[in-house]
Every structure is written in structure tokens, then in C-alpha cells.
Structure 1
Amino acid sequence: MPNRLKNSTSPYLLQHAGNPVDWHPWDKQSLALAVHSDKPILLSIGYSACHWCHVMERECFQDQEIAEIMNDHFVCIKVDREERPDLDRIYQIAYQILNHKPGGWPLNLCLTPRGYAPFFAGTYFPPEPRFHLPSFRTVLEQAAKHYRLNREKLAGHHVSFAAAIEQMNPRQPTGDFPDADKLLLSAINTLQGEFDAVHGGFGRPPKFPHPTQLDLLMIGTQSPQTSISRRCSQMVVFTLLRMAGSGLFDQLGGGFFRYSVDREWAIPHFEKMLYDNSQLLFTYSIAFMHFKTPIYERIIKETANWVISEMQGEAGGYYSTLDADSEDQEGKYYVWSETDLRAVLPDPLYRRLEQQYGLFGEPNFEGCWHFNLNRETDLETLNEHPDVMPEFYQARQKLMEIRNTRQRPAMDNKILTAWNGLMIKGMAKAARILNQPAYLGSAQQAIQFVRSNLWRGDRLMACCTEGKTTLNGYLDDYAFMLEGVLEMLATRWNSADLHFAIRVSEVMLERFEDTEEGGFYFSSHDHEQLLCRLKPGADDAIPSGNASAIRGLYNLGTLTGNPQYLESANRAIQLFADELKRQPSVNASMVIALQQIKHGATVILRANSTEQQAWQEALSETIHPLINVYHINSDESGLPDSLAGKQPEVGGTAYICRGTSCGEPVTSPETLLEALSEFTR
């Protein structure tokens, strides 16, 4: 008998629609039921590609006895964390407060029916005691008993708990704002201490790619101090090479998995997330622009091609995730037994594949091989072009044909505005760096989808699934979309996109900005009342929405000459000063935003289509990540007055702008390059 999730559009909620648990969505009716019945809320948060979410669903939520305990003692609410990042953020912090360690998914909490304050929080639990964990039955019974015995004490629990979480929001800084370059150096030094000099990356397993920190190091590569530049280059190049040749990257089909379970990047957690691939597409693009390493180009192309072929819908929006599991086994779609390989490949092709992927000794994943490039390969000079490695290319093609006949991992076809903004940014950057019209077309289609389906004229919506648009947008939706559209304008100017970016910015300021203290709340001013309201500044798996808003507003303000955008950006970054001083590497996106404000430059180039070519060729050598260049045809209509007034001379004219100030017109590419070199020293 289906429960109340049966009418949901979320693929994750629909996975639980047939459970014997009387699941409810998070809505007014479900919350009112908890108050009316005086039952605590069992809040369970996960997402469709989550392996351990699937495990707990099979083991616990399909169990009739466990379901009866849940139904008798709780109002059970299921939440898709990708649809409701507001709830997920709040209750991940709550988990950390209660357990003194980071959380994860599935996230299971017991909340008071009034105020929604947690009095218990955990992640995965087995049906019987296992892995040094209690059974879920025991957890449920103890939590229900605790609520019965402490009902009155818990009545005001939400007030103190909300205050504890909101205390983590930034406050006005206590001292002078730190120097941007000192902050950058501090972040670089911290990352150097965490750097894995043997395998690349940072920290211990599980190892995540941390693209925002790599982007920060890319800025460090431009330092005039040779020692800093060399250190940053070494960390970036080595990490990107190791990830490119590892099992973190799908060596057959393209695209990155979410993280590696080991230090060597050999075996991933096999889910593929749009947000990881969007950020890494951008990171590899700026790295290829600087270092020209051939394997980076392959990674960009195979990632972008995979996104377009598998993650972009016919209407243009990008889907969210690919599951880690197929046929109830993690990674089954991607791995190969030696028997399977020998059965489909002639011996010469098998030998070439064996050499390229190092298929010697014991298989690396549960009796099968998950492909990593041979560790003896020189990744910096590797050229895998079919003309150079015909047998290897044939082997890969054959295996892809076979793999395409396997049962595919499930697709979560939600189209999330925030993640689409990230992918538009990455795809537009790749289109520009590699001069790939297909990538440009992909980003254009995604912007059009957002404008047609997720933009209401006075607000962005957060999610569209199967044509149904739901949920008011969050800060990330506005900030990431703004940056994506700006990157698109730098790749291909379209005045309609500029006006869309301006309108998105205006609504973001109206609905999210704290006009008294600065910065932006994650949820809008008219959002439903939750336990508390957050103003996050640090990066996690995705960049900080506040940092992205600051960068987007500053760049748009410089482009259009609007001082309001610049003032809001400066006020916001001032708010996070103390947080930046404490942990600059954790706030990598915020450090990048500060570098943009101090060292960044915007070039506005007005020239006709014939004249543009000479300027573009000269500017192709401009590789500083803090320089934005916008090519606007001399006859472009529909421009704001500040841009329309920048009239070109014959041959074309460029303007270098910082903040609301633009320099004297520059009328030759050579003079422009000389001026830009001075700007970024």
C-alpha cells in the first residue's frame, strides 16, 4: 500500500513510496499532524544516488516490525536533501552539535513537534546490532521513551538549540580586515600542510577533489613571488594529473565520481554528481588554459561529452545525479572481471588494455577491475589519440559497447537551478577554452531552460522534475546562476542574458541580503519558518553561496558600473572577515572573491565582428583567472547606458575597469596586454 510519498516528484522520495513506513513529505499538514498527535517527528534525509540510503531503505524501512515502531511512536517525514538543502544544512549542523563529529547520509533525527528541535541525531543504523552500531529498533524505542519521559523539558528545547546554531552565523568583525594577499598565502600554507605529495589531493581518505581549493591555488600560480607560484603549480598539476589517471575518473565513459575511498584515488564511491563534474570541468579548463597539459584537454572533453550525452535533458536542463548502484550492487556497471574482458577482447587488444590500465596481480575491487591508468605512465606527456594508440582506442570502444548493454545506474532527473548554474559556468568556460561550439550550445540550452521553466519574473524556483516546478529558490540558486550567466557572457555576448543576470541580482538582493550587517541568508526573507536561519560562508561539496554572490555582484557591478552591487559585495565580504582569518583554506571561495576585488580586472571590448578576431587572438594569451573579458560587438543594441556609452573607434576599443572606475580607452591589442600585465602584478 503506497504511503503519502506516492505523489512526490522526487525520485528519492518515490524510492520510499512503497515502504510500510507511513512516510510524509515535509509540509504544513505533516507538521500539524505531529503537533495534533503530540508525537515527535522522525526526520530522515537522504538522496537518490546515496548507497547507504539504499542499504537502510532495504534493511530497515522495508521491515514490517521496524515500520510499526516508527508509525506507532513518530510522525515520519522523508526529505530529499537536494530539494531541501535548507533543512539538510540545519540538521547536519545539529548532528555535529549532538555528536561532536561530521554527519552524512542517510541522516536520521528525532525532532520535537513544536519548533522542530532535534533531541537525537544519527546516520545509518542496521536492523540488528552491527558495525559497532545499535539496531535501529533499539534507537527508535529509546528515542520514543526519552520523549515520553521528558516531554515538558523538551517543550522549549527549540529556543536554545536555534540560538546555538545561529551563534555560528558570522558577526561583525572585531578588527581590521585582513590583507587579501596575506589571506591567500595563509590558505596556501595550510593546503601545503595537508597536501598528499605521493598521490595528490588533500587530507586523508575518504578523499574528495576539493575544486574550490584547486581554483584558489590556480590564483596562487600567478603570484609574482616565484616560490609561491612554484608551490601552487606543483600542488595543482600533481593533483589534477593524479585524479585524471585514477579511478575517481570514469576512464571509459568520462565524468568524475564523487570521492575516493582510498588515498591513491583508486576506488571511488561510484555515484556521479552534477555539482562535482561542473566544478571540475571549470577547474580543468582554467588549468589547461595555463599549463596546456594534453590529458587535461581529454578530461575536459570526456567530461563535457558525458554531461551532454547522459546528464542533459532534451529540453536543455541538466539532471542531478547518477546512482552508485545497479542491480543492488555498488559499482557493478563500471567494473570488469578478467573473464569478462578476455571474453570480449582479442588477445592483442586485451594486452594493450592490460598494459595501459595496469591489470596485473589481484583485481582492485571485489574480484573485479576498476580502471586506473598504469601508475608508471607519464601523465604529463600522455597522448591517447586514436592515431597514436589505435589498439587501446579499439579496446575502449568495444568495452563501451558492452557496458552500454548493462543495466544502468538510476538517474535522478531533478533539474536543480543551483547545480545548473554551476554546470553552465563550467560548460561555458570549456567552450571558450577549447573553442567547442557544442559546449556553447549546451550551456545556451540550459540557460534557456532556466528562463523558461524556473524563472517566474520575480523569483527563481529551485527544482523542476518531469515538467513540474517546485520550491522557492535558495541563495545558491541565484548566486550560482548569476555566475553561470556571467561566464556565458564572457564566452558569447547576448544582451538578453545580461538583463537576466541583472534581474537575478536584483531579486537576490531584495530577498536574501541582510541590509544591516551584510551578507546573505541561505533562505529568502519570505521562506517558511524553520528551526533557525543560516548565513553560511564556508565551502562544502559546493562553493559558498555567499562567496559566489560576492563574486557575481562584484563582476556584474564592474561590468555595468552599478555601485549598489559593489557595495553589497564589499559589505558581505567584510562580514566574513573573522571567519576568513580563522580558516582561510576552508573558505577558499571567499578568499578567491577577495582576490577578485583586490586584483581583478574586467575588460570591455567594443569592436565589430571583423575587428574582434585580432583582439581575441591577443587576449587568448591572457591566462590570469581574475581577468574577465567581454567581447561586445560595436553595433550591439539593448545595452545599459554605462556600456552603450563605451563607443569604439575604428579597429576596436578596449576599456579596463575595476569597480566603478574604467581606464582610458585602449585602441590596440598590444597596449591592452601591457596594461593588463601591470594590473595583476
Structure 2
Amino acid sequence: MPNRLATEPSPYLLQHADNPVDWYPWGEEALEKARREDRPILLSIGYSACHWCHVMAHDCFEDAEVAAVMNRLFVNIKVDREERPDLDQIYQAAHQLLAGRGGGWPLTVFLTPDQTPFFAGTYFPKTPRYNLPGFIDLMENVARAWHERRGEVLAQNAALREALAEQQPAAGGDAPLTAAPLAQAVRDLAQAFDPVWGGFSRAPKFPRPGELFFLLRRAQAGDAQARDMALLTLRRMASGGVVDQLGGGFCRYSVDEQWAIPHFEKMLYDNGPLLQLYADAWAMTGEALFRDTAEGIVGWLLREMRAPEGGFYSALDADSEGHEGRFYVWTPDEARALLSAEEWSVAAPVYGFDAPPNFENTHWNPILAKPLAEVAASLGIPATGAAQRLASARARLFAAREKRVRPGCDDKQLTAWNALMIAGLAHAGRVMQRPDWVAEAHAALDFVRAKLWRDGRLLASCKQGEARLNGYLDDYAFLLDALLEALQAGFREQDLAWACELADALLAHFEDAESGGFFFTSHDHEALITRPKPGYDNATPSGNGVAAFALQRLGHLLGEARYLDASQRCLRLFHAHLTQMPVAYPTLLAVLDEALVLPRVILLRGPQPALGEWVDALAPKLGVRDMLFALPNGAALPAALAKPEADRPTAWVCSGTACQPPVTALSGLLA
């Protein structure tokens, strides 16, 4: 019989609806049962595309013997980390404290009935292996500790709650803001940089867009070292197997230092920021690899991730037919049988099919092993001919792959992750002059507003038209930033009005007006064992960093002191952290950068299509601190932007409160 998860909308929870485990979703029913029966809670957190979550489900949660022990000893709660990032954030931090190392998914945490964790781990097998205890033995020992050594458990709980509270940033001081953290972050990244394969760690390697955004900002400021590190990393990633060379889009991370073999899940939250990065890298260099990679991300997005009712799905699974990567990889004979001799002569060396299989010694995961020009030269054929053969080979391989059993799709639409993709689409559409991408960004914004914005508040998740869950800081911050990108890509009155509503809601429901910064959960959110105020970037940028960045920009655009002051309070709160470990806070470093050197606001007013011609001419000249808004005649605007209408474009250029005289000639503005 299905358990209680069968009525949940989360695709991840539904994956466990037929387990013999007596699962509860997180909620008062389960929490009250634990308190009433004085039973510890077994909390399992994961997500639908997670390979090791599937492994543990098969090893343990589908096993009747394991389930019987779980049901006898614990109240069992399953959580989708994508729906409840508040819970995931708290219990990942607790795992770090309890286990002395970083966590991950699946996250397995044992809680006392008051929700305090007293033992934590990640994946556990049914029987001992991989130097891990068997899950049945572990559960028996944990339950025994709760019943027989309760005094020790409660003492540890008190210490753990105190340690979680101490992780909160202390109130900021009055030390002057300086550029020292910006220079220190470049030095720290240079020390960690892999000069051969790019990236800033050994295997496994994650894309970490925040660090690359920061380096590209420094590159625009003239830092050659930052430029070289960012561009080499972006080239190596785009040439590896962490990006789908046939279908476009990035997987979550690479298990090796060469970016060749990923864990094959594709997440929406990675691909939005990466789209923005590759568009900027193309604008900086004109390299075809960067353009092709950006186009591949958008092609994958619109083909596989766009929901019929609007917005974008969350993720694609790593597994299909019970095997990780099966959809994406090839046997040595499979690819060759599909291609003509001419196609194979180019595709084999380009994709690395002429080398030993790189995936589990039996399959190939395509990479860009050799430059196309080099292959063309070795074959003695023109580059255009080689490109045609490769395009034909890629099309054949892709068409054959489309007939395979597809990975599962997590079809919920998350506000925060949609916002990251909307920002990427709008930014890349503007930079690469793709109005069709800007239109997709606008359509996704309209979906979010129609389905996830209700009575002046955001909801966090939507599935099959049903929106639910109180929005988090990331939902508001990321969406505000996306609106500012969309307004620069194609001005719409309703987007500016909505940006102001969002900013006001952000201040009203999340800001700590006394100490500065923003809580991850709203003031009226469910009370949990701690209330984080995160400032460092993870796989996604920090909500505090993005909130401060977007409020600062909106404040300069509208001359609104409330937004500027809130941004400044947030920056002050985290300033000591920026000084001590700047590389952990790349988004807040961008806030610091624009607090030290104010962004430049360029307003254009006039008729279409002349405004569009000016925007196209200005685009290559814009710096990282420039914001360009083309305001067409007839648009209803707030007082700060209500510039006089004319029959030809006029430009106003302002930095902070200092504005230059209006410019009516494009040549003068370009100068």
C-alpha cells in the first residue's frame, strides 16, 4: 500500500510513496507524533535527480527488513531539499558540526522530538561496505543512545543549538570599506587554481559560477590574471563531458579534474548562471566555443525543460533504466555504426571516440578532445567541410539518442531557480542580441507572476498549476535581480512596478532592520531550531548577496534611499567575513565593488526603433558596472525615470547623484 507520501506533489517524495517505510512528509502530524510517543525522528533529505539518493532508496528504503526497523524505532520523515531549502540548510550545517565534515545528499539525520539533531550522516548501505556501517546496526545503536544515554544526548543538543546560533553573523562594525577583499579574493583563487584544467579544486569539480562571475568582473577592471583564470576554466568546462556535447546544458559537477565525466543530473539552477557567464565570455573574446555553449544551454532548456503552462522544470535525473548516465554514453561500436566513414573520420577524434572509453572503461562520454581545425588539417580537408561532417554526425547521434529511455524529469517549477534562469536568458539575450531569448525570459516572468505571486507574497514551488510553500529569501532576491536584468534587456512597465513591490516585500518580510542582512525565512515562517542568515555562496549565490546587489542597483536607478540603506546594512553585517575569507563571498564582493565605485545608470528615452539602434551600438561599450535602460515614449514611469519625450533618442548618464547633461547624438554618447 502507498504511504503518506502518495498525496504529496513533490516528484522526489512520490519516488518513495511505495516504500514499506511509514514515511511522513515534514509537518505537524509527524512532529506531534514524535513528541507524544517520545520517539526520535529519522529525517531523510534528498532530491529527485540525485544518484546516491536512488542507491540508498534501493538498498534501504525499498527493503522490508530495513523498513521494519525504521518503523519500529523512529518517526520517519522524508524531505525534498528543493522544496524545503530552509530545513536542508539547517541540517546540513548540523551535519558539519556533528560529523566534522561537509554533508550532501542523501542527508540522513536523527533528531530528538524537539527537532534537534544528535547524529548525522549521508548515504548508508544496508550492510557494512565502503567503510560505512550497515544501516540496521546504525539505527539500533542510535535508538539505544536515545533511550539509554539521554542525558549525554540532551547535553550535546544544547551545545549544538548554541553552536548553530554562533554561526550567525555578528552585527557589523564601522570599519571603512576598502577594495582589499577584492584583491585578496583574486590571490586566494590564484593559489587554488588548476592551471592545466581550470577550476579551483581537485576532483570532484563543480562549476561554481559565483567565483567565475567575480573573476570576469575583475577582468573588466583590467586584471589580466583574473581574466586568464576565468576564461581557461570556461574553455575547459565547455570542452569537457560535464557539458552535454550533443544536446547542450551542464551537469551538476565532474567527478574528475578534467571535467570529462559528470554525475549526469542536470539542474536548472546551474544552467541559468552558466548561460550568463558564457554570454559574457563570448562578448569579451568573440570565441565561437563560448557562443556555441550558450546556444547549447538555451537549446536544451527550451527543448527539455520548458513547461507547457510556462516556466521551467527543476532537474533531469542522473539515471535512466536504473543506470547512471545510460542516456548519454556510447559503447565503442554503437557510435561508429550510426555514422558514415566521412562523419566518423571527424567525429571520432573531435569527441574522443578514437581513444579508450572514458566512462567505466566500457563507454564513451563525448568530450571535445581535439580542435576541429586540427582534425581538418590532419585529414587534409577544408575547415568548412569538417564542420559540415561534424554537424551531420552530431545530428545523427542526437537523433539516435532521442530514441532511448529518457532520464526522469522533476517537473516542479521553483521560483528561485526559474529566477536564475530568467536572469541568464535576459542577460545573454541582451549581450548576444537574441531578442527571442529575451522574449522567453519575459514569458517565464509572466508565468511566475501569474502562478507564484499572490497577495504581495511569493510562493516557492508550483506543480501542474498548483502553487505552494511560503517563499524564501532566495525566491525574492533572485527574482528581483532577474527583473533588473529583464528591464535592461527589454523594458516593460509592469516589470519595474513589480520590482518595486518585490523590493518592498523583501524589506518587510526578511530584513533584520536592527542588525542588518536578511533571514533565509520570512518573519512569519514556521519556527525551526535556528533561523539562518546565509551570506556565503554555495552552488547557488547567497540570498543576502543577491538581495544586497539588486537593492543597491534598484536604489541607484530610482534614487530610493531605503533600498540603498538596506543594501549597505547587509554589506556592513558581512564586512568582517569578507575581510577574513573573501573567496567564500563572491556575490557580496560584487556588492562591495559597486559600493566603492558606484554603478553608472544610462537612461535612453525616445521612439522605437531608434532606441533599439542606440542600444545595439552601446552594447559592446558597456562595462560591468553599467546599467542601460531604454525607456520608450509613452511608457508610464516613476518620477526618477520620467525623462522628457522627444522625436529622437536622448540619453542621461548618472553615477550616484551626479548626472551629466543630456546627450542627443549617439556619437557623443559613445564617446
Q: What TM-score range do you get, normalising by the shorter chain?
A: over 0.9
Aligned match of 2:130: 131
Give 2:42's aligned amino acid. Answer: L
Q: What SS is found at the alignment partner of 2:630? A: strand
Unaligned runs of 5+ in 2: none
Number of the residue aligned with 2:412: 414
For residue 592 of structure 1, the aligned residue among 573, 581, 590 is: 590
- Residue 679 of structure 1 corresponds to none
Alignment deviations for residues 597-634 of structure 1 (CA, whole Å, 9 cap, x no partner): 32221211112114314422431222412211011013
Whole-Å separation in 2 of the counterparts to 1:386 and 1:530? 61
Q: Alpha-carbon deviation of 1:577? A: 0.5
Identify if the C-alpha distance between structure 1 residues 385 and 602 changes in structure 2 by more than 3 Å, giving closer, same or farther: farther
Greater mean alpha carbon deviation, residues 144-153 or residues 503-512: 144-153
Partner of 1:336: 330
Give how far 1:71 is off. Answer: 0.5
1:218 to 194, 212, 216: 216
Match of 1:513 in 2: 511
Q: Which residue of 2 aligns with 1:678?
A: none
1:10 equivalent in alignment to 2:23? no
* Residue among 286, 289, 292 paired with 2:280: 286
- Distance in 1 (alpha carbons) for counterparts of 2:510 and 2:161: 19
Q: Give deviations 1:390-409, integer Å, cap 9, x for gaps.
A: 11111111111110000000
2:349 to 355, 366, 372: 355
Task: Write the distance in 1 (CA, Å) between the matches of 2:183 and 2:473.
Answer: 29
Cα shift at 1:501:
0.8
Alpha-carbon contact 2:373-2:383 (below 8 Å) kept: no
**Which residue does 1:426 correspond to in 2?**
424
Change beyond 3 A, Cα 1:291–1:538: same
CA distance in 1, matches of 2:354, 2:441: 41
Q: What's the CA shift for 1:671?
A: 3.4
Q: CA deviation at 1:376?
A: 5.7
Gaps of 5+ in 1: 675-681
* Partner-residue secondary structure (3-state), 1:576: helix
Q: Deviation digits for residues 91-128 of structure 1, max 9, x if unmatched?
A: 000000011111000000000102x1110000001111
Count how many residue pairs are aligned between Structure 1 and Structure 2.
665
Query: Residues 172 and 515 of structure 2 are in contact (CA less than 8 Å); yes or no, is this contact kept in structure 1?
Result: no
1:178: Cα distance to partner? 3.7
1:284-321 CA deviation, whole Å, 9 max, x = no partner?
A: 11111121111111111111111011111111111100
Contact 2:173 2:572 in 1 (8 A): no
The structure-2 alpha-carbon separation of the partners of 1:9 and 1:614, relative to structure 1 and needing over 3 Å to count, comes to: closer
8 Å contact from structure 1 (residues 315, 445) kept in 2: no
1:246, distance to aligned residue in structure 2 (A): 0.7
Aligned to 1:666: 663
Structure 1, 271-280 or 435-444: larger mean CA deviation: 435-444
Contact kept in structure 2, 1:90 and 1:534, CA below 8 Å:
yes
Mapped to 1, the partners of 2:495 and 2:174 lie a distance apart of 40
Aligned with 1:389: secondary structure?
Answer: helix
| 1:343-385 CA-partner distances (Å, limit 9, x unpaired) | 2222222222112112234200020100011146679x99x99
- Equivalent position of 1:632 in the other structure: 631
Aligned residue for 2:256, secondary structure, equals coil
Write the letter of the residue equivalent to 2:190: Q
| Structure 1 position 250 matched with structure 2 position 244 | yes
For 2:651 and 2:324, the matched residues in 1 are separated by 54
TM-score if structure 1 supplies the norm length?
0.95
CA separation in 1, counterparts of 2:575 and 2:608? 44
Say what the alpha-carbon RMSD is for the aligned residues: 1.9
Give the stretch that moved more between structures: 660-669 or 434-443.
660-669
Residue 436 of structure 2 is matched in structure 1 by 438
Are 1:120 and 2:114 matched, yes or no? no
Rounded to whole Å, the distance in 1 between the matches of 2:403 and 2:233 is: 33
Comparing 52-61 and 285-294, the one that deviates more = 285-294
Within 1, Cα distance between the matches of 2:33 and 2:443? 43
Q: 1:467-482 residue pairs with structure 2 within 5 A?
A: 467-482=465-480
Equivalent residue number for residue 297 of structure 1: 291
Report what 2:92 is aligned to. Answer: 92
SS of residue paired to 2:92 = helix
Partner Cα distance (1:623, 1:602) in 2: 11
- Give the partner amino acid of 1:233: R
Task: Report the counterpart of residue 258 of structure 2 in structure 1.
Answer: 264
Local SS of the residue matching 2:250: coil
Partner residue in 2 for 1:604: 603
Structure 1 SS opposite 2:258: coil
Q: Distance in 2 between matches of 1:29 and 1:156?
A: 27
SS of residue matched to 1:621:
helix
- More off after superposition, 656-665 vs 405-414: 656-665
Separation (CA, whole Å) in 1 of partners of 2:34 and 2:203: 40
1:106 aligns with 2:101: no
- CA distance in 2 between counterparts of 1:376 and 1:246 reads 12
Read off the aligned partner of 2:83 and give its amino acid letter.
Answer: E
- SS of corresponding position for 2:621: coil
Q: Distance in 1 between matches of 2:386 and 2:286?
A: 19
Aligned counterparts, 1:57-206, within 5 A:
57-114=57-114, 116-155=115-154, 158-174=157-173, 176-180=175-179, 182-206=180-204
- In the alignment, the residues of structure 2 paired with residue 275 and residue 320 of structure 1 have an alpha-carbon distance, to the nearest angstrom, of 8
SS in structure 2 at match of 1:509: helix
Could you tell me whether the CA contact under 8 Å between 1:177 and 1:574 is conserved in 2? Answer: no
Compared with structure 1, are the counterparts of its residues 391 and 125 closer, same or farther at alpha carbon in structure 2 (3 Å cutoff)?
same
Residue of structure 1 in register with 2:614 after alignment:
615
Distance (whole Å) between structure 2 residues aligned to residue 668 and residue 660 of structure 1: 23
SS of 2:651's equivalent in the other structure is strand
Distance 2:7 2:641 in 1: 49
- Cα distance in 1 between the residues matched to 2:98 and 2:16: 27
Within-5 A mapping of 1:563-602: 563-599=561-597, 600-602=599-601
Q: Shift in Å at residue 220 of structure 1?
A: 1.0
CA distance in 2, matches of 1:664, 1:170: 43
Question: Deviation digits for residues 250-272 of structure 1, max 9, x if unmatched?
Answer: 00000001111011111111000
For 2:267 and 2:316, how far apart are their aligned partners in 1? 7
User: What CA distance in whole angstroms lies between the structure 1 residues aligned with 2:366 and 2:434?
Assistant: 28
Amino acid aligned to 2:415: T
How far the C-alpha of 1:465 sits from its partner, in A, is: 1.1
Is residue 322 from structure 1 mapped to residue 316 from structure 2 by the alignment? yes
The answer to whether the 8 Å contact 1:490/1:631 transfers is yes
Mean Cα displacement is larger for which, 618-627 or 660-669? 660-669
Match of 1:522 in 2: 520
Per-residue CA deviation, residues 428-453 of structure 1 (Å, 9 max, x unaligned), is: 11211222232122111110110110
1:464 partner SS:
strand
Instruction: List per-residue Cα deviations over 1:223-264 (Å, max 9, x = no partner).
Output: 24xxxx211121111111111111011000000011110111
- CA–CA distance in structure 1, aligned partners of residues 498 and 4 of structure 2: 38
Q: CA deviation at 1:388?
A: 5.6
Counterpart of 1:40 in structure 2 is 40
SS in 2 for 1:609: coil
Amino acid at match of 1:248: V
Select between 39-48 and 288-297 the one with higher mean Cα deviation: 288-297
* Alpha-carbon distance in structure 2 between the residues aligned to 1:474 and 1:393: 43
Name the aligned partner's letter for residue 451 of structure 1.
R
> What's the CA shift string for 1:641-677, capped at 9, x where partnerless?
2111x22555322222334554432333333344xxx
Which residue is equivalent to 1:657? 654
Cα separation, partners in 2 of 1:415 and 1:444, compared to 1, 3 Å: same
Task: Please tell me whether the aligned partners of residues 452 and 461 of structure 2 are also in contact (alpha carbons under 8 angstroms).
Answer: yes
CA pair 88-495 structure 1, distance change in 2 beyond 3 A:
same
Inter-partner Cα distance in structure 2 for 1:150 and 1:459 = 45
Tell me whether 166-175 or 662-671 shows the greater mean CA deviation: 662-671
**SS of equivalent residue, structure 1 residue 221:** helix
The 3 A distance-change label for structure 1 pair 140 and 625 is same
Give the letter aligned to residue 588 of structure 1: P
For the residues of structure 2 that align with 1:619 and 1:220, how far apart are their CA atoms?
Answer: 21
Name the CA distance, whole Å, in 2 between partners of 1:385 and 1:69. 64
| Identity within the alignment, % | 44
Query: Is the 1:281–1:303 Cα contact (8 Å) retained in structure 2?
Result: yes
Cα separation, 1, equivalents of 2:473 and 2:415: 11
Provide the rounded CA distance (Å) in 2 between the counterparts of 1:236 and 1:524.
36
CA distance in 1, matches of 2:412, 2:182: 37
